[in-house]
A and B are shown apart, each in its own frame.
Chain A
């Protein structure tokens, strides 16, 4: 059965008034060769909420995001988006769910043969074929204004700094007006000023769009700024989950060490 993509956004049914979590990860496990990355973790994110996932490098934070977007298949457990388990879904079925999600890769993953404007327009060209060319250009311009990149439409990704690439990547992730936003290390590799600007941008977008967001980061300061709740991973398990105050009051030695070193 063929699947069509040109479904107007307003017809997508989402449980806007439901209290059920939009993203729910249950007992998720993933092993690569003999290395267990995730050892049965469970997390939930509600509409309008930002969850920051913290941890040392190599503790499976990015793998968690890839499992949620469906780029990686879990060994066991479930990933539920709007109550639907996405594990094992066919590529085209998964595409319908991904249209509600935006993903910012750690290194932005911009298409290096396209300009900034073409990168941001890319999802619109494929999923909003009802849009005219001028409407699409206006949408792209608006998105780039939101992320502060409006003067760089014709530049190539190789002409941009790391922070600028992340801004463009964020604009592309927001092109389809997603209800779920996944951010993989949005401030990694950036100077403190650029990191602060990215944090402010994420906060502004969150206030305006009320998305369910999951941010993976090792930057505790950034996590405290943008997140409502934090979850700390270590050796494949969630060591602690809650507000920053819960972290400060925790007696777990790893949590104390993490706070001390951050």
Chain B
């Protein structure tokens, strides 16, 4: 009497025992059974299908969420107290970080621009180079990315934590529109505060950029401002600053959306915070490309 016993999965190589009259007569190994498929490699088509499905599901859900938020934003009663609280959270509490980032950018651009301009004998262009670089390019995008990291993660984690602990359900059960109370206030705060934070970053960058230049070649601040803004109009600086309101819209919508659809406990909260930052940063960068082109066309 022979008996074969497998010790592993049917689709794996396994140990074979041959038992005769209660005694192990032989041992060996057996190959995977011919009727079992290799389950370790999911089919490529299934993966692509799931990815595509997830892509459209995400955007569809975002569209529904955005619609709910827009409806809530235009119907009273308005949550003024919560809006003011969020303006403080987004604005004044992000100010030190944004100012510090702006200061760093100013120093870096100052050092890089001085070196490059010296090579081409154009050192006199330094003030306008610094001013235009900071206000038109680096200030807005760096402010957007820093706020998407700090505020995006904060909003995503806060709302996700409220979702998994049923606090959002409790708000809805209390006959209060959670979109109006939680999402509209945060999104509006981001839209209103981003341009102001950008101005702060710009001011900080110009100040430290001038200071870094003065340490090498003395230049009065008055001279620096006069040369830097020589010939400039409001059209050169206002659109790049106020385009950050669009960044604020992106950051607020993405972070609130990710937070309010969270599932899965602590892991879900972490995932919501991470996704808020990553997706908000990605969409801010993509929006910058579009908005720069738009500004160049509309404000030549």
Contacts and interface: CB of A to CB of B under 8 A. Distances in A.
Interface of A: 2-6, 66, 69, 71, 91-92, 94-99, 101, 103, 105, 107, 109-112, 122-123, 126-127, 129, 172, 176
Given A5-B77, A92-B75, A112-B165, A101 B173 contact: yes
B166 to A, nearest CB: 4
Interface of B: 68, 75-77, 162, 165-167, 169-170, 172-177, 179
Contact of A109 (B68, B77, B165, B176): B165
Nearest to B161: A112
Contacts of B170: 103, 105, 109-111
B110 to A, nearest CB: 42
Contacts of A96: 175
B169 A122 contact: no
Contacts of B166: 105, 107, 109
B176 A95 contact: yes
A75 to B, nearest CB: 19
Contact of B174 (A2, A4, A122): A122
Contacts of A5: 77, 175
A54 B170 CA distance: 23
A105 B76 contact: no
26 contacts: A4-B76, A5-B175, A6-B77, A66-B169, A91-B177, A91-B179, A94-B175, A95-B176, A96-B175, A98-B172, A98-B174, A98-B175, A101-B173, A103-B173, A105-B173, A107-B166, A109-B167, A109-B169, A112-B165, A122-B174, A123-B175, A123-B176, A126-B174, A126-B175, A126-B176, A129-B77
Contacts of A111: 162, 167, 170
A207 B176 CA distance: 28
A107 B164 CA distance: 11
Contacts of B75: 2-3, 92
A112 B158 CA distance: 11
Nearest to A123: B174
Contacts of B162: 111
Nearest to B81: A125
Interface centre among B166, B167, B170 (most CB of A within 10 A): B170
Contacts of B165: 107, 109, 112
Nearest to A103: B173
A69 B176 contact: no
A94 B173 CA distance: 9
Contacts of A101: 173
Nearest to B172: A71
Contacts of B68: 91
- Please name the 8 residue pairs, one residue from A and one from B, whose CB atoms are nearest each other, closest first: A98-B175, A109-B170, A109-B166, A95-B175, A103-B173, A99-B175, A123-B174, A2-B75
Contacts of A172: 174
A29 B173 CA distance: 21
Contact of B173 (A3, A71, A127): A71
Interface centre among B68, B76, B179 (most CB of A within 10 A): B76
A176 B174 CA distance: 9
A123 B172 CA distance: 11
A4 B175 CA distance: 12
B162 to A, nearest CB: 8
A6 B77 CA distance: 9
A4 B75 CA distance: 9
A113 B279 CA distance: 27
B169 A92 contact: no
Nearest to B76: A2
Contact of A4 (B77, B167, B172): B77
Nearest to B165: A109
A111 B170 CA distance: 9
A94 B77 CA distance: 15
B143 to A, nearest CB: 27
Given A111-B167, A111-B170, 16 more contacts: A5-B77, A69-B173, A91-B177, A95-B177, A97-B175, A98-B174, A98-B175, A105-B169, A105-B173, A109-B166, A109-B167, A109-B169, A109-B170, A111-B162, A126-B174, A172-B174
Contacts of B167: 109-112
A2 B78 CA distance: 12
B154 to A, nearest CB: 13
A199 B262 CA distance: 34
B34 to A, nearest CB: 32
A197 B179 CA distance: 37
B173 A98 contact: yes
Nearest to A65: B173
A99 B165 CA distance: 22
A187 to B, nearest CB: 18
A253 to B, nearest CB: 35
A251 B95 CA distance: 71
